[in-house]
Amino acid sequence: MNVADKLVAMVLALAAFAVVIGLILFVVSLLERRGARRVAWFFVGPTVLLLIVGLLYPAGRTVVRSLFDAAGSSFIGIANYTAIFSSPDQLVVLRNTVLWVLVTPFVATLVGLLYAIWVNGARGESAAKALIFLPMAISFVGASIIWKFVYEYRFYDPDVRVNPEQIGLLNQVLVWLGMQPQQFLLNQPWNNLFLIVVMIWIQAGFAMTILSAAIKAIPAEITEAARLDGVSASQLFRFVTVPAIRPTLVVVLTTIAIGCLKVFDIVRTMTGGLYGTSVVANEFYTQSFTAGNQGLGAALAVLLFVLVIPIIVYNVRQLRQAEAR
Amino acid sequence: MRHMRKSAGVLAAGAVAALALTACSTGDGETPGDSTDATVDAVEVDCADFEQYGDLSGKTVTIYAGIVAPEDTPYMTSFEPFEECTGATVDYQADKQFEQQILVRAQAGNTPDIAIVPQPGLLAQLVATGTVVPAPEGVAANVDEFWGESWKDLGTVDGTFYAAPSGASVKSLVWYSPTQFEENGYEVPETLDDLMALTEQIAADGNNKPWCAGIASGEATGWPLTDWMEDMVLRVGGPDVYDQWVSHEIAFDSEVPTQALDAVGEYLKNPDYVNGGIGDVSTIATTAFQDAGLPILDGQCSLHRMASFYAANFPEGTDVADDGDVFAFYLPSEDSSTKPVLGAGEFVTAFSDRPEVQALLEFWSTDTWANLKAAASSEETGGGWITANSGLDTDNLVNPIDLLSAEILLDPASEFRFDGSDQMPAAVGSGAFWKESTNWITGQSTADTLSKIEAAWP
């Protein structure tokens, strides 16, 4: 296909799309005269249908499949679930997921919050914010590849005549400081933390942006009143800022926590889940698609779903409370 | 006004979606260039040889394969004489997602006429879908004549012969630097004992660690170690035990496999022998397999066991020749009386028994085609393609590594065995075997490693 053909195909596709949309709008305009309820069904119907076909049905199938063996042919009850909670390999996966969910949201939020307060009202605020927000614009896979280079290891032996060039930034810094280069992605269990750093690097910008907006929304009267009462900066933070932005903090924390439960790209790109760094989402993919154990993979997917539910429930409740106030 | 703006927004969003759709559709279905002007000069073609296939004017045969540009053009060139002499059209479609897609297509009944399948395991899966047709008589006769029993077995599922081999590659190679060997007076080893003696000598000389290795390969991390182990099973136990091991007639943690993995460990787990130019033993786990052999060029490493395709990983301008910067030698066997060869290959699988498809299959299995393809590859991609077809005239090869590989493959003493992990069930072959090998190199014991893989066998 040459460029002209592609352009023609594109124009045709656009025209076809316009015709379909035009048709829908035309039908709706006909229905509109017969009452709003029909129009509502006309729009909601396809969505509901797609949700059933694309979400509810596969979810149900996954739950059923998690009760079957690797090939999906014979029923084995909850054996896949007991495997997740008893086999040493799977316990490492669970441990790592817990580590991700405990460490990342708090550190990323803390970094974002401190940064937001620190640059608030300072000169060059927007430039400073852009700096920390930029990693958000990079895809997880892109960020992982960047950090993989940062962590890259080559040996360094002062007694050897020729040492290989350090490719990794971090190890080069260590060598300059007179220390031994480290295998950041291999040495357990610390390698998990070095993966988490990547997530924090990405999410701190997200936390900072949202929290900064919340801080700016605190009414000036409140902070002024507190200042007149003679509070110190730390007291202002503790008793005014944090309570005022609490709903936003909860949203940021839970959003990052959900992201961490589902984290896949970083682990897959940087270690492939090897060297004791696998997490539930990655293990689910590996078991389902490379190791051919569909039952265990489905069980892991269900577990992931179950783990996300309480966080979402908490998140929604907090939002409702905030709205009620 | 508000209403209007909304629908305009929807239109714009839809336009983006439509754009994305067209981009996808043109990307996927694209058939690589019709500009097949190149002709194969090196091989004389006489249309009289094609008379047996009859007049196939107006007929089209579709081929679906994972071999993408630039390696696809020699394929199309090699079919040109067939097209010219019979009047048939060969429609070659390449897709990087071939290995996943062909199964999906077969299960959905939407099959091409012919697929180039790179693994016997995948062939068996395809046969299980009931869409593959057995190979015609003529193809079977050609395979008997040009390839022999072991290759025919690889294309056979449950006693029925389905697919003739096409290309092949050799994995039992050790890369080295001829220049470095000459400077230090090292000799290419003839037996495994020689190889160990050479390793000790290089380590004792102290200029560099003898071996370098790397097994990181994304989700397939670990596969170079499985190749190492397969090569050692072939050498410690011999081809028959290898077959039993691959088909799980002997346990994965039985005696021979244990000895084989320990034999690998003598090289790769000895801190004095690895990892030249990179670090200690554990760096093997995190070094990308593409980078692992490069320290040979800087003299930081002397030996690197990797398949023939590794030639493409050396930077442009590297002289790959037996007197150049890098070259490879056959990973020796216990003694020179046996010559087990580990390798891989492709299998021409048909989903239709229409006469034009059968005709192309038969042509494809001849020595004429093998030479046409070899000459086309040499001309258009500088080589990189060989076959185990004994009718292959090595004059049609230009690349020294191709020549070496073909020499190893076509040596009557060679006993070819296909990459075992490709034939094992996915839970082992692309699951536990990769994963536990990686754990093994980072410290897990041989016994633990093998018993864990054994436990994963479905």
Contact B26 A183 (CB under 8 A): no
Chain B residues within 8 A of A292 when measuring between CB atoms: 425-427, 430-431, 458
Contact B426 A153 (CB under 8 A): no
Residues A118-143 have pLDDT tens digits of 888 888 888 999 988 899 889 999 99
Chain B residues within 8 A of A70 when measuring between CB atoms: 427, 458
Whether residue A234 has pLDDT greater than 70 = yes
Contact B15 A25 (CB under 8 A): no
- Please give the pLDDT value at position B14: 40
Asked if the structure places residue A74 within a domain, the reply is no
Please tell me the distance from the alpha carbon of residue A89 to that of residue A93, in angstroms, as a whole number.
Answer: 7
Asked if the structure places residue A110 within a domain, the reply is yes
Please tell me the distance from the alpha carbon of residue B244 to that of residue A310, in angstroms, as a whole number.
Answer: 51
Same domain, A55 and A94: no
A159, A274, A288, best to mutate vs chain B, most B CBs in 10 Å: A274
Yes or no: say if A108 and A203 are a contact pair by the CB < 8 Å rule.
Answer: yes
Residue that wins the pLDDT comparison between B148 and B146: B146
Same domain, A163 and A304: yes
- The DSSP symbol for A75 reads B
Same domain, A107 and A49: no
Q: Which helix (H) or strand (E) holds A29?
A: helix A3-32
Backbone φ and ψ of B125, nearest 5° = -65, -40
From residue B274, give the alpha-carbon distance in Å to each of B192, B310, B397.
18, 19, 34
Residues A207-227 have pLDDT tens digits of 999 999 999 999 989 889 998
Contact A13 B7 (CB under 8 A): no
Reported ipTM exceeds the 0.85 cut = no
- Please give the pLDDT value at position A259: 92
Asked if the structure places residue A79 within a domain, the reply is no
A293 closest CB neighbour out of B222, B285, B427 = B427
Asked if the structure places residue A120 within a domain, the reply is yes
Asked if the structure places residue A76 within a domain, the reply is no
Structural domain that includes position A19? 3-65
Whether residue B2 has pLDDT greater than 70 = no
Whether residue B326 has pLDDT greater than 90 = yes
The domain spanning residue A260 has which CATH number? Answer: 1.10.3720.10
Chain A residues within 8 A of B11 when measuring between CB atoms: 17-18, 21
Chain B residues within 8 A of A269 when measuring between CB atoms: 218
Q: Which residue has the tokens 């269900």?
A: A302
On the 0-12 / 13-18 / 19+ scale of CB atoms within 10 A, B17 is exposed
Same domain, A102 and A58: no
From residue A212, give the alpha-carbon distance in Å to each of A133, A217, A321, B310, B399.
12, 9, 21, 52, 62
Q: With bands split at pLDDT 50, 70 and 90, how would you rate the model's confidence at B16? A: very low
Residues B197-230 have pLDDT tens digits of 999 999 999 888 999 999 988 778 899 999 999 9
- Cβ atoms within 10 A of the Cβ of A241, count? 22
On the 0-12 / 13-18 / 19+ scale of CB atoms within 10 A, B89 is middle
Residue type, B242: Y
Please tell me the distance from the alpha carbon of residue B282 to that of residue B287, in angstroms, as a whole number.
Answer: 9
Contact A10 B17 (CB under 8 A): no
- What value does the mean pLDDT of chain B take? 86
Chain A residues within 8 A of B15 when measuring between CB atoms: 14, 17
Non-local (6+) Cβ contacts of B328 within 8 A are: B173, B174, B175, B176, B308, B310, B401, B404
- The predicted model scores a pTM of 0.78
> Taking the C-alpha atoms of A11, A13, A14 and A17 in order, what is their torsion angle to the nearest 10 degrees?
160
Please tell me the distance from the alpha carbon of residue B298 to that of residue B303, in angstroms, as a whole number.
Answer: 12
Lowest mean pLDDT among B26-30, B105-109, B440-444: B26-30
Same domain, A147 and A22: no
Residues A287-303 have pLDDT tens digits of 887 777 889 999 999 99
Contact B11 A18 (CB under 8 A): yes
Same domain, A280 and A170: yes
Q: With bands split at pLDDT 50, 70 and 90, how would you rate the model's confidence at A321? A: confident
- Please give the pLDDT value at position B37: 39
Yes or no: say if A311 and A258 are a contact pair by the CB < 8 Å rule.
Answer: yes
Same domain, A101 and A57: no
Q: What percent of chain A has pLDDT over 90?
A: 52
Same domain, A39 and A105: no
Q: With bands split at pLDDT 50, 70 and 90, how would you rate the model's confidence at B42? A: low
- Please give the pLDDT value at position A69: 87
Q: Which residues pair with B174 in a beta bridge?
A: B305, B329
Same domain, A177 and A28: no
- Please give the pLDDT value at position B148: 83
- Please give the pLDDT value at position B82: 92
Residues B330-365 have pLDDT tens digits of 999 988 788 999 999 899 999 999 999 999 999 999
Q: How far does Cα B363 stand from its chain's mean position?
A: 22
B21, B226, B435, B451, best to mutate vs chain A, most A CBs in 10 Å: B435
Whether residue B35 has pLDDT greater than 60 = no
Q: Count the residues in chain B.
A: 458
- Number of structural domains (chain A) is 2
CA atoms within 13 A on the CB side of B395: 4
Same domain, A26 and A157: no
Q: With bands split at pLDDT 50, 70 and 90, how would you rate the model's confidence at A160? A: confident
Residue type, B80: E
Residue that wins the pLDDT comparison between B261 and B94: B261
**At B300, is the secondary structure helix, strand, or coil?**
coil
Contact B283 A153 (CB under 8 A): yes
Whether residue B190 has pLDDT greater than 80 = yes
Asked if the structure places residue A190 within a domain, the reply is yes
> What is the mean pLDDT of the segment spanning B238-255?
93
Whether residue B10 has pLDDT greater than 60 = no
**At A313, is the secondary structure helix, strand, or coil?**
helix
Residues A162-217 have pLDDT tens digits of 778 888 999 999 999 989 899 999 888 899 999 999 999 999 999 999 999 999 99
Distance between A191 CA and the closest CA of chain B, angstroms: 12
Contact A290 B14 (CB under 8 A): no
Distance between A124 CA and the closest CA of chain B, angstroms: 35
- Please give the pLDDT value at position B32: 39
Same domain, A142 and A209: yes
Please tell me the distance from the alpha carbon of residue B322 to that of residue B403, in angstroms, as a whole number.
Answer: 11
Residues B360-395 have pLDDT tens digits of 999 999 999 999 999 998 888 888 889 999 999 988
Same domain, A258 and A229: yes
- Please give the pLDDT value at position B8: 38
Asked if the structure places residue A70 within a domain, the reply is no
Residues A81-126 have pLDDT tens digits of 999 999 888 999 999 999 999 999 999 999 999 999 888 888 888 8
Write down which residue in A35, A65, A95 finishes a domain: A65
From residue B373, give the alpha-carbon distance in Å to each of A23, B40, B162, B393.
54, 9, 22, 11
Whether residue A11 has pLDDT greater than 80 = yes
Contact A268 B219 (CB under 8 A): yes
Please tell me the distance from the alpha carbon of residue B302 to that of residue B202, in angstroms, as a whole number.
Answer: 8
Q: With bands split at pLDDT 50, 70 and 90, how would you rate the model's confidence at B43? A: low
Residues A12-68 have pLDDT tens digits of 999 999 999 899 888 888 877 777 777 788 778 888 999 999 999 999 999 999 999
Q: Give the chain A residue whose CA is nearest to the CA of B281.
A: A155
- Please give the pLDDT value at position B137: 92
Asked if the structure places residue A95 within a domain, the reply is yes
Q: What percent of chain B has pLDDT over 90?
A: 54
- Please give the pLDDT value at position A1: 57
Whether residue B18 has pLDDT greater than 70 = no
Please tell me the distance from the alpha carbon of residue B235 to that of residue B320, in angstroms, as a whole number.
Answer: 27
